[in-house]
Amino acid sequence: MTIGIIADLVVTGGTIVTPDTEYKASIAIKDGKILAIGDQDAMPEAKETLDATGLHILPGAIDVHVHFRDPGYPQKEDFASGTAAAAFGGVTTVFDMPNTLPAISDAKSLAEKHAIAGAKAHVDYGLYAVLGEDSLPNIGALIEGGVIGFKCYMGNTFGRIPSPTTGAMLELFEIVAPTGKRISLHAETNSIMERREARLRAMGRTDPLAHLAARPAVVATEAVARAAILSEWTGARIHILHISSAAELRPLAEAKARGVDITGETCPQYLLLSSDDYEEKCGVIRVNPPVRETENQDPIWQALVDGTIDMIATDHAPHSIEEKTREDIWTVDCGFPGVETQMPLMLTEVARRKASLSDYVRWSAEKPAKCWGLYPTKGALMVGSDADLAIVDTNREWTIDDANIQSTAKISPWHGMKATALPIHTIVRGRFAMKDRTLQDNAKGWGRSVHAIQEMPTPDVRNADQTMAAVTAPRKG
């Protein structure tokens, strides 16, 4: 018993999962931080206790890729419904994408989104800003205004954010490199897929598989390789979003081997769905990059296991039922919800493929926190870390039902899938966001932006003597 200190909450009886091991221990929480981890009788007195016997305690997941649509598209999602979905999925931090309306590309739109998120969020968040030709003059102001990183759309996207040319990308990378902020890339090359799509349309194709035909893996692979070259040249840190194919793994692994600060994520859809599902799921499965042929699944899984792919994210991209069920595939909105089902589906897959819970927390929490300079405040169950906990029943069989998801978008390809794990309680900085599968009233507005705790190591800026700044000023020496 620690004399004099009264904890806010002690969680007893659970099994703690770290990236290295699992062990039975209690966790004491005070002022939003983990105060102590140890035997139950070594815990301080507490205002509240939670019995987690039979449950696993994981660091809350950090989903670095969600689209919460706020402001702009409340019929799809808003920051309250999106973060409620996160809480139900054991996710305690989300990074929200900038393709809202307005897009987040200047200080004003960023400040507006901070106000919205600060008022509505049930979990912690980071906000992305667009990296494009329009936002080029605003990069300093955006960093000043508090972004977690930048998002560069190399391919077309919902919200029609123009993709920068390769020349503009180089300049943008040169500007961001010395700031240390990570640039996340939607790596699909527009010029390839535009031509393919035009041909398919001219042939009269409107079926779901035409979407995949328009975006073969070379679309993504060429983009990954090009982004990696620009990253190596400039020293800009980059992150490859939603890796969907085996072919992308080679340029990713090669860049890593060359010392490029490049990270990658994949999403449950690329491990669990395949081209065989288009016929049944039709437009519901339409997403960018597309769900691909089955033979991509094992190499992607293997890359997660061996660390070539660093983490799991979701690309939670909600759209309404009407927007997802249109007949002509080219008119169906791309994407579907996922923030709420990632942990149950991945833990089910972990059990099936015999990976460990430790592997999972490395992919879902530790790596995202490390790659964005949030570790060990986030992404760890250690004394002094933020008390962000996902308390999970890893032995619960249930079936996903779109009608019951928190997300406003009640349509996903996950409907009807069986899972063997379910988050029961989610704690964000010491406060229950979800308890006993119930959203907590006082959780709304508790979420905070994590940009303030972000600390990136000094970047290794390359070829600085050849940057635009050097071109416009006379060379020294």
Partner whose footprint covers residue 128, from ligand NCD, Zn ion, none (CB < 5 to 8 Å by kind): none
The verdict on 157 binding ligand NCD (CB under 6 A) reads yes
Distance CA 335, CA 51 (A): 38
Tell me how many residues contact Zn ion (CB under 5 A).
1
Q: Which of 334, 365, 421, 439 is close enough to bind ligand NCD by CB under 6 A?
A: 334
For ligand NCD, the binding residues in 53-82 under the rule CB under 6 A are 67
**Measured distance CA(272)–CA(268) in Å, rounded:** 6
Site for Zn ion in 338-377 (CB under 5 A): none
Burial 245-275 (b: 16+ CB within 10 A, else e): bbbbbebbbebbeeebbbbbbbbbbbbbbbb
Q: Which does 287 bind (CB under 5 to 8 A by kind): ligand NCD, Zn ion, none?
A: ligand NCD
Query: Quick one: 164 or 335, whose CB is closer to ligand NCD?
Result: 335
Q: Does 288 bind ligand NCD (CB under 6 A)?
A: yes
| Type of residue found at 447 | G
Pick what 367 binds: ligand NCD, Zn ion, none; C-beta below 5 to 8 Å, kind-dependent. none
Cα–Cα distances in angstroms (integers) from residue 71 to residues 106, 277, 327, in the given order: 14, 32, 28
Q: How far is the CB of 241 from Zn ion (least distance, A)?
A: 5
Among 315, 366, 393, 402, contact with ligand NCD (rule: CB under 6 A): 315
Cβ proximity to ligand NCD: between 147 and 287 the closer is 287
Which of Zn ion, ligand NCD, none has residue 187 at its interface (CB below 5 to 8 Å by kind)?
none
Q: Does 186 bind ligand NCD (CB under 6 A)?
A: yes
* Whole-number Cα distances in Å, 306 to 293, 359, 362, 388: 22, 10, 12, 26
- In angstroms, what is the minimal distance from the CB of 99 to ligand NCD? 5
What is d(CA 412, CA 416) in angstroms, rounded to the nearest whole number?
10
Tokens in use for 134? Answer: 């329009």
Q: From the list ligand NCD, Zn ion, none, pick the one residue 317 interacts with, judged by a Cβ distance below 5 to 8 Å according to partner type.
A: ligand NCD
CB of 388 to Zn ion, least distance (A): 25
Question: Is 287 an interacting residue with respect to ligand NCD (CB under 6 A)?
Answer: yes
What is d(CA 331, CA 347) in angstroms, rounded to the nearest whole number? Answer: 34
**Least distance in angstroms from the C-beta of 315 to ligand NCD:** 5
Q: Is residue 160 within 8 Å of 216, Cβ to Cβ?
A: no
- Tell whether residue 286 is a contact of Zn ion (CB under 5 A): no
221 contacts ligand NCD (rule: CB under 6 A): no
DSSP summary character for residue 402:
G
Q: Are 93 and 126 in contact (CB under 8 A)?
A: yes
Contact 449, 124 (CB under 8 A): yes
Cα 191 to Cα 219: distance, rounded to the nearest angstrom:
9
- Told to check if 335 binds ligand NCD by CB under 6 A, we report yes
Q: Could you tell which of Zn ion, ligand NCD, none binds residue 335, using a CB distance below 5 to 8 A set by kind?
A: ligand NCD
Establish if 113 lies at the interface with ligand NCD (CB under 6 A): no
CA-to-CA dists, residue 9 to 4, 16, 28, 299, angstroms: 15, 16, 6, 42
Residue 428 to residue 387: CA distance in whole angstroms:
6
Counting contacts by CB under 5 A, is residue 186 touching Zn ion? yes
Which segment (184-192, 262-270, 389-397, 431-439) binds Zn ion by CB under 5 A? 184-192
Q: Which residues of 179-193 are buried (b: 16+ CB within 10 A; e: fewer)?
A: bbbbbbbbbbbbebb
Contact indicator for 77, 414 with CB cutoff of 8 Å: no
The one of ligand NCD, Zn ion, none whose footprint includes residue 116, by CB under 5 to 8 A per kind, is: none
Shortest distance in whole angstroms from residue 128 CB to ligand NCD? 11
Encoding tokens for residue 352? 């099936």
Residue 256, classed as helix, strand or coil, is helix
- Count of residues interacting with ligand NCD (CB under 6 A): 11
* Residue number, 19 or 335, with CB nearest to ligand NCD: 335
Q: Which does 113 bind (CB under 5 to 8 A by kind): Zn ion, ligand NCD, none?
A: none
Q: Per CB under 6 A, does 95 bind ligand NCD?
A: no
Judged by CB under 6 A, the chain residues 336 through 395 that form the site for ligand NCD are none
Closer by beta carbon to Zn ion, 163 or else 296: 163
- Per the CB < 8 A criterion, the answer to whether 240 and 224 are in contact is yes
- Is residue 113 close enough to count as binding Zn ion by CB under 5 A? no
List of residues 6+ apart from 12 with CB closer than 8 A: 26, 40, 43, 49, 50, 51, 52, 53
With a CB cutoff of 8 Å and minimum separation 6, the contacts of 388 are 59, 60, 92, 93, 124, 378, 427, 428, 429
Chain positions contacting Zn ion, by CB under 5 A: 186
Chain positions contacting ligand NCD, by CB under 6 A: 67, 99, 157-158, 186, 287-288, 315, 317, 334-335
